[in-house]
Structure 1
């Protein structure tokens, strides 16, 4: 099995978290081929992938409220996000289902995109964002809200409470809010808020992830119907003719020979058997 086959097998057998990481890595490799400016040494994402704060752009390209959450501006941006995503996903899936995970990722990305657009327009800023950070923050804050006192063992640090890790990340976002990447920090905090709200609503009996599940199920069933259209065929029904069951029992040769030996024993005793008959009966009894 080569590396490609091994990756395919891992993707097929892996859970939703591994699939999400694969999707992010795949989108990054695509962007590396098509959107990386080698002379400049930077990515140049088109406005049909990155989420722009300009109303004239995002209104005509509404899918960018989700597409931005699968692309990254550089290898280290991708690496850090995937490390945190893997960490947060493992904890989240300890308590919740794959459908809830996918629903939270998608809905938090859309919500964070909306807050980014609203915030930049209120501040009279203009820009665009890219990256899965907001959705990852939602997953991390969601599981922290559900189980804040969970012990997490960190390398070189030891055991810490989950809420300590999440609090440090949020505080760092707040501290850098006015320094650089304001759009990114706005979306991060929006993701954190959505993750918190998702758990609180879930505890009240409202599962927002069912919105995404219902949409996916609708399109899945729609494509299934298109691929295998139902054809109504009329046929005259005839009751199958029952074949008579034969009452004659035909014994095979081995069973017949066993019966003959047993009959001989009943008449003349075991000692009357030849050596061959004794060996045959012994082998048949195994």
Structure 2
């Protein structure tokens, strides 16, 4: 099994959190090819990808309220964000569903983008932003709001509470808001606020993520081909057959049983613990 097959398998088994990380990395690689100016050593994102604070731009390109959250202005920008996203996602998925994860990521990115353009409009500033930081902050703060006293072990530091980590990041954003990248820090804080509100509403019975889920389902069903079977009405007298009891016992075949054992092994010890033969078997089964 080569590296490409290994990555494909991780993409299939990693769930929505791993896929969002892959999407961010893919967008960064695309931007390196098309938007990086090697002569001056910096990115030049077009106005149809980055979110501009100019009303004359974002009003005609409303999709940029989402696309900006998948592109990054540099390798270390991407690396740091993906490390925090992986950390936050692991904790978030302990308590919430994949639909809630995707819904929070998308809605927080949009909300933070709106706060950014409004803030810059009233401050009479003009700029554009890219980066997943706002959505990542939403995921981190949402988890912290739900389980603030969770113990987390950090390298070289030891065991700390989750709220300690989140508080330090928020304080750093507040301290740097006037030093540079003001729009970025404003969007970070907006994302944090949305993550807090998201969990509080969820605890009161309102799940905002259904907005995203229903929108995705609508477009999926819209483009899904419906069977072209003509309607036919048949009238027939019949006697309703006696229903036979259906067994609720499901017998798994040998291959399915082996897949379940491998997935249990991954959930307990991680993907890297699998043998080469187990990886190859799982990859072939996923085709």
Range class of TM-score, shorter chain: 0.7 to 0.9
1:216-248 C-alpha deviation (Å, 9 max, x unpaired): 111111122xx244321659999xxxxxxxxxx
2:229: which partner in 1?
231
2:88: which partner in 1?
88
Q: Equivalent residues in 2 for 1:184-223 (5 A)?
A: 184-223=184-223
Q: CA deviation at 1:85?
A: 0.1
1:130: which partner in 2?
130
1:264: which partner in 2?
none
TM-score normalised per structure 1? 0.80
Hey, which bits of structure 1, 4+ residues long, moved more than 4 A? Answer: 233-238
For structure 1, the residue ranges without an aligned partner over 5 or more in a row are: 239-286
Tell me the distance in 2 between the aligned counterparts of 1:50 and 1:182: 16
SS in 1 for 2:230: coil
- Say if 2:59 is the partner of 1:59: yes
For structure 2, the residue ranges without an aligned partner over 5 or more in a row are: 237-287
SS in 1 for 2:153: strand
1:6-37 C-alpha deviation (Å, 9 max, x unpaired): 21221112211100000000000000000000
Tell me the distance in 2 between the aligned counterparts of 1:81 and 1:48: 22
TM-score normalised per structure 2? 0.80
Distance 1:123 1:235, change over 3 A: closer
- Say if 2:65 is the partner of 1:28: no
1:145-193 C-alpha deviation (Å, 9 max, x unpaired): 0000000000111100000000000000000000000000000000000
Tell me the distance in 1 between the aligned counterparts of 2:94 and 2:234: 55
Q: Equivalent residues in 2 for 1:81-160 (5 A)?
A: 81-160=81-160
Give the greater-gyration-radius structure (CA).
1
- Say if 2:79 is the partner of 1:79: yes
Tell me the distance in 2 between the aligned counterparts of 1:211 and 1:163: 28
Cα RMSD between the aligned structures?
1.5
2:11: which partner in 1?
11
